């Protein structure tokens, strides 16, 4: 067993040697829950789809317990639901042609409190095996507690790597707090228009969520199209699908940089921009 939790799951869609599957990863997404990858790290998935020189690797930290359930899933136990979600994530990895898919199997409480050192250790091991150039994480301003805790566990692991082994770029991505509020100069604009059919195909495999009343498939496609159009009022659209991210790379370039201070600086810049615009046109 490579990882610490007994429910950890390793899946290599093309059945190559796991060591090779880890080693070829160039773009790595690390998220809290099943289907977060396909939302937050979609840019990385599309950058690697149908490529032999770039490969996407996915990590889901928690076990999917406590998922809302409805319809055909109404009577599933929590254990049965966890297995459904694990299998759905495997299906998404197959559809998206991921190099490797790791589900660490931790309860959310372990990520936030109880065994957070174990979580960070597992993430460090994955980072060492992959040595990715690009990493996609939850953004630290997300409004889901487990997402923020997962971001912090990832930062702990990244900062344990030697400086020369750290990724070139780390993105903080959208899930439960979108990033359209960032100032234009603070937005990392990720074009995701290469495979317009792919987002629907990836999210469709998460039937337990869609049937349960959460139409992530429709919402995410609409959001990306809205971002492309509403990004700027004075230019024509250059893409029809756009997602936003925070640049978190400075947090792994300077280990003394406090993530709270770094994140709230984005908010301070937004506050200054709003104040200045209002004052500019006051009588």
Domain ranges of the chain: 9-280
User: Which two structure tokens, joined as six digits, stand for 37?
Assistant: 């990858």
Residues in CB range of 240: below 8 A, 6 or more apart:
193, 196, 225, 228
At 267 the pLDDT is 98
> Residue 89 and residue 95: Cα distance in Å, rounded?
10
CATH of domain 9-280: 3.40.50.10320
- Output the CA torsion sign for 26, 30, 33, 37: negative
At 212 the pLDDT is 67
Residue pair 49/23 in contact by the 8 Å Cβ criterion: no
User: Which two structure tokens, joined as six digits, stand for 213?
Assistant: 């009343």
pTM: 0.94
Placement of tokens 């496609």 in the chain: 221
Q: Would you write out the chain's pLDDT as a tens digit for each of its 283 residues?
A: 689 999 999 999 999 999 999 999 999 999 999 989 999 999 999 999 999 999 999 999 999 887 776 678 878 888 888 999 999 999 999 999 999 999 999 999 999 998 899 999 999 999 999 999 999 999 999 999 999 999 999 999 999 999 999 999 999 999 999 999 999 999 999 999 889 889 999 999 999 888 767 788 888 888 888 888 887 766 666 787 889 999 999 999 999 999 999 999 999 999 999 999 999 998 8
Total Cβ atoms within 10 A of residue 216:
20
> Residue 36 and residue 109: Cα distance in Å, rounded?
18
């Amino acid at each position: 067993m490579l990882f610490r939790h007994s429910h950890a799951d390793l899946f290599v869609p093309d059945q190559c040697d796991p060591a090779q599957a880890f080693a070829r990863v160039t773009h790595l997404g690390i998220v809290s829950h099943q289907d977060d990858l396909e939302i937050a790290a979609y840019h990385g998935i599309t950058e690697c789809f149908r490529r032999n020189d770039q490969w996407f690797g996915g990590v889901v930290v928690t076990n999917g317990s406590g998922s809302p359930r409805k319809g055909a899933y109404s009577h599933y136990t929590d254990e049965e639901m966890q297995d459904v979600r694990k299998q759905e994530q495997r299906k998404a990895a197959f559809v998206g042609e991921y190099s490797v898919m790791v589900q660490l199997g931790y309860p959310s409480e372990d990520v936030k409190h109880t065994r957070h050192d174990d979580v960070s250790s597992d993430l460090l091991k994955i980072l060492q095996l992959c040595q990715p150039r690009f990493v996609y994480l939850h953004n630290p301003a997300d409004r889901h507690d487990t997402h923020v805790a997962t971001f912090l566990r990832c930062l702990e692991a990244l900062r344990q790597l030697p400086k020369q082994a750290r990724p070139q770029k780390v993105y903080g991505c959208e899930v439960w707090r979108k990033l359209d509020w960032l100032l234009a100069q603070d937005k990392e604009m990720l074009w995701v228009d290469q495979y317009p059919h792919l987002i629907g195909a990836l999210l469709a495999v998460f039937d337990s969520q869609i049937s349960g009343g959460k139409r992530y498939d429709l919402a995410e496609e609409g959001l990306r199209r809205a971002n492309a159009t509403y990004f700027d009022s004075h230019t024509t659209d250059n893409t029809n699908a756009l997602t936003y991210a925070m640049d978190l790379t400075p947090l792994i370039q300077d280990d003394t940089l406090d993530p709270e201070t770094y994140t709230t600086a984005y908010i301070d810049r937004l506050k200054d921009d709003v104040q200045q615009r209002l004052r500019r046109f006051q009588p």
